């Protein structure tokens, strides 16, 4: 799996992680990110996944994986067990995103979170002019079959970080192929389709 092309957001996440770090990947899927980080940055760590098929893929790839539901917290880990805790495109599907973020900062020194930005202009336009819940490339499901139960905007997430006492170290707003540009830097909440954050406890 090491030589395969990875998702563009994984490349950005990898830029934020120091070699030799301890990493916990929440909702790790088939283990691609951890496998890539292990091969390219010599990280150690675990993935947490609920889907049985993905767990099988992780095991085949040699990725340490734990079968668990993120909505039940991270009680199996002690405080400060990891250098980084990653949650990629999963926050919006959690029952209590705020509690999971707090758990991330209990077990890790830094958190990395990515999520679809509901404040993107396409989403706003569909709501304002069409009068219906938006369907975009970063939010492809319709309202009745979506796994997303807590959609938020970039401003919402930053306000939550402030409320929880987290310091934002880096952030990027990117388009649907996870590329950035001047417009995205100037108007992240309006133009960004996916938001990416690295943060820590104050």
Asked if residue 97 lies in contact with residue 157, where contact means CB atoms within 8 angstroms, the answer is no
CA distances (Å), 11 to each of 14, 48, 157, in order? 5, 20, 22
Is 181 domain-assigned? yes
List the domain range (segments joined by +) for residue 38: 8-118+151-201
Q: 7-19 as b/e, with b when 16 or more CB fall inside 10 Å?
A: bebbebbeebbee
For residue 47, tell me if it sits in a domain: yes
Tens-digit pLDDT profile for residues 110-122: 999 999 998 888 8
Q: How far is residue 27's CA from residue 121's CA, in Å, rounded to a whole number?
A: 28
Inside any domain, residue 40: yes
Lowest mean pLDDT among 54-58, 91-95, 137-141: 137-141
CA-CA distance, 74 to 65, in Å (whole number)? 14
Instruction: Write the DSSP symbol of residue 91.
Output: G
**Max Cα distance, the chain (Å):** 50
CB 37 within 8 A of CB 64: no
Whether 29 is in a domain gets the answer: yes
β-partners of residue 36 are none
Give the chain's mean pLDDT.
91
Residue 34 counted as domain residue:
yes
Q: Which of 41-50, 69-78, 175-184 has the lowest mean pLDDT?
A: 175-184
**123 found inside a domain:** no
Tell whether 1 is covered by a domain.
no
Rounded to whole angstroms, the Cα distance separating 190 from 173 reads: 10
pLDDT at 50: 95
- Using a pLDDT cut of 70, give the percent of the chain over it: 96
Domain membership of residue 101 (yes or no) is: yes
- For the chain, the domain total comes to 1
- Which has the closest alpha carbon to 161: 200, 193, 188? 200
Q: What is the pLDDT of residue 185?
A: 84
Q: How much is the pTM?
A: 0.89
pLDDT tens track for 75-104: 999 999 999 999 999 999 999 999 999 999
Model confidence at 3, in pLDDT bands (50, 70, 90)? low
Residue 160 sits in a domain of what CATH number?
Answer: 3.40.50.150
């Amino acid at each position: 799996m090491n030589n395969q092309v990875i998702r563009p957001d994984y490349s950005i996440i990898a830029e934020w992680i120091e070699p030799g770090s301890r990493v916990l990947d929440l909702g790790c899927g088939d283990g691609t990110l951890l496998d890539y980080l292990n091969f390219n940055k010599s990280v150690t760590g675990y993935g947490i996944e609920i889907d049985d098929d993905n767990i099988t893929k992780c095991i085949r790839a040699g990725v340490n994986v734990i079968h668990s539901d993120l909505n039940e917290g991270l009680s199996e880990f002690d405080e400060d067990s990891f250098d980084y805790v990653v949650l990629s495109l999963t926050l919006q599907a959690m029952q209590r995103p705020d509690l999971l973020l707090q758990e991330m900062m209990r077990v890790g020194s830094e958190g990395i979170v990515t999520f679809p930005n509901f404040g993107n202009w396409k989403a706003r336009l569909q709501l304002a002019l069409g009068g219906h819940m938006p369907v975009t490339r970063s939010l492809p499901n319709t309202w009745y079959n979506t796994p997303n139960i807590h959609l938020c905007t970039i401003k919402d997430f930053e306000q939550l970080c402030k409320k929880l006492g987290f310091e934002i170290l880096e952030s990027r707003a990117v388009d649907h192929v996870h590329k950035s540009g001047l417009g995205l830097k100037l108007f992240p909440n309006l133009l960004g389709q996916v938001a990416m954050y690295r943060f820590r406890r104050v």
